[in-house]
Amino acid sequence: MASGNLVANALGSPFGAVDIAGGTAANLVASYLAMWVARLRFRGSWLLGCTSANIVVSFIVGGYITLLTQIPLSSPLWELPIIGVLIGSTVSINFIGYLLVKALRLRMVK
């Protein structure tokens, strides 16, 4: 997750080095947290792991995007970057990631 984020941000982020370093760090923290939660192995632990990763990435990345775009915290728009990142990470982590894990399990476990 973090290496893909590093490459994507290096190739096309409008926020430059801050997004390359910050996005990669946020994804490393989120990946570790999701892995830790998934190791608990209770029913739905994968969903809790994915949700915790979404929240971490959304607040870290959305937070620094709010600051970089200089949206005042007194404005009702300050939360838009956080919501945008939350939607994007939900699609990529929860939906696409879940489908990828299911497909890999079918191919690897026989």
Residue 107, pLDDT > 90, answer: no
Domain residue limits, the chain: 2-108
Average of pLDDT values for 1-21?
A: 85
Reference 63, options 15, 95, 10; nearest CA is 15
Determine the 3-state secondary structure of 32 from DSSP: helix
| Residue 27 clears pLDDT 80, i.e. is over it | yes
* Distance from C-alpha of 110 to C-alpha of 106, rounded to nearest angstrom: 7
Residue in 80, 94, 88, 92 with CA at minimum distance from that of residue 51: 94
pTM as predicted: 0.84
- Of 3-7, 35-39, 90-94, the range with the lowest mean pLDDT is 3-7
pLDDT band at 1 (very low <50, low <70, confident <90, very high): low
Instruction: List, for residues 67-90, the tens digit of each pLDDT value.
Output: 999 999 999 999 999 999 999 999
Q: What is the pLDDT of residue 110?
A: 61
Q: Which residues of 11-48 are buried (b: 16+ CB within 10 A; e: fewer)?
A: eeeeeeeebbebbbebbbebbebbeebbeeeeeeebee
Which band of pLDDT confidence, cut at 50, 70 and 90, is reported for residue 105? Answer: confident
